[in-house]
Structure 1
Amino acid sequence: MGHKKSYLILIVTHSRFEFTNADCTTVDRKFGECDYIYLKSVNRTYKYLSAKFKLYQLPVKTLGVNLVLMKRFNGYKPFLYNITINACKFFANTKSNPVVKFFYESVMTFTNMNHSCPYNHDIILDKLPVDFINHRLTKVLPFPEGDYLFQAHWIRSGSCFAVVKVYGTLS
């Protein structure tokens, strides 16, 4: 008698996030300016984002930020989040906004913006690894595949002083 062979085929798909571009635009040069923002690929597995914003009017006692997540559908369109917060109040109580907390936790160990106001120093994001962001966007809070733009409009006294844009692809 012949035996039938059975096969079990598992198809496992893994999403992967990659930075594709980063840009910082200074709006108010009297308040400060973007010193640098860049993506660096050290090797196939270690890629990171770094940025520095020089502040000229210290100390910074009030700070706001408008965070916008966009996804590309015939151009970039708002996707899920468009939130404006008082950053000083948020940094004093990060539990006050769970959505902002998720994004803040994605960068807090790589930035010196990890305390409440006042700020008496330049703002630095140092070597934010793409693998860390990949983990957060695929495992912690899975996002659908696509091209994304994360925009942060930094605000002081009701006026925008800088716009940071970080582009990425989740495939």
Structure 2
Amino acid sequence: MLFVLIFGLLLVNATVEANFKSLFCTIYDKEYGEFLDCKMKAINRYKKTINVFYRQLTQAHDVVVRLEFLKKGNVWQPFLYNVSVNLCDLVQKNRNLVASIANAYVKPYVTFHNSCPLKKNGWVKGNNYDVSMEQIRNRFPVEPGEYAVRITFSENNVPKLSLNASAIYSNFREN
């Protein structure tokens, strides 16, 4: 009987938990732009946030954003979506469903000080981005494991910069 009571309390106290594991910001063309900040900040043992600050060094016209979701098994494998969308269409018109859902998750954390086409010395700043698994699980079939997102920005089919972030998701945590 005691076992059933303890097991029931554990189930009631079980929480959905996701924690960032890694963040990599890569510039392929140093004259195109620069990352002034690209790091994870530990809030506590179970929670990390992401801070990114990017500055555009040249004017850009036809920027395409490629958004890839990956899941780790033995190796990283594609998971659910791999979409490309024009950055100006995403910012101004929000036409692509998957990109607009992703945009809705990050929009409260991101300040976009630029216009389309992207101007020289424009910047994008993302502060204290934290993954909310409750919101993600409402829309996507996610099971426990390690997941990653790769965002690549290209101009004229030439990659200019990318952000890679991974997170570990579990159904419970230690108390």
TM-score (normalised: structure 2):
0.80
The count of aligned residue pairs is 161
Gap change, CA 1:15 and 1:149, over 3 Å in 2: same
SS at match of 2:151: strand
Q: Distance in 2 between matches of 1:74 and 1:47?
A: 25
Deviation (angstroms), 1:90: 2.0
SS at match of 1:107: helix
Pair member with larger Rg: 1
Gap change, CA 1:140 and 1:115, over 3 Å in 2: farther
Q: Distance in 1 between matches of 2:130 and 2:72?
A: 23
What's 1:90 paired with? 90
**Which residues in structure 2 correspond to 1:66-145 (within 5 Å)?**
66-94=66-94, 96-113=95-112, 117-120=116-119, 121-130=122-131, 133-141=132-140, 143-145=142-144
What's 1:48 paired with? 49
Unaligned runs of 5+ in 2: 171-175
More strand by share: 2
What's 1:17 paired with? 18
AA paired with 1:88? C
Unaligned runs of 5+ in 1: 1-6
Q: Distance in 2 between matches of 1:142 and 1:122?
A: 34
Gap change, CA 1:114 and 1:76, over 3 Å in 2: farther
In the TM superposition, what whole-angstrom CA distance separates every residue of 1:12-67 from its partner, at most 9, and x where no partner exists?
44321111110011101111122221110133576311011221103x33311111
SS at match of 1:117: coil
Q: Give the alignment's Cα RMSD to 1 decimal.
A: 2.4
Q: Residue 20 of structure 2 contacts residue 47 of structure 2 at CA under 8 Å; is this kept in 1?
A: no
What's 1:155 paired with? 154
Q: Distance in 2 between matches of 1:166 and 1:140?
A: 20
Q: Residue 67 of structure 1 contacts residue 83 of structure 1 at CA under 8 Å; is this kept in 2?
A: yes
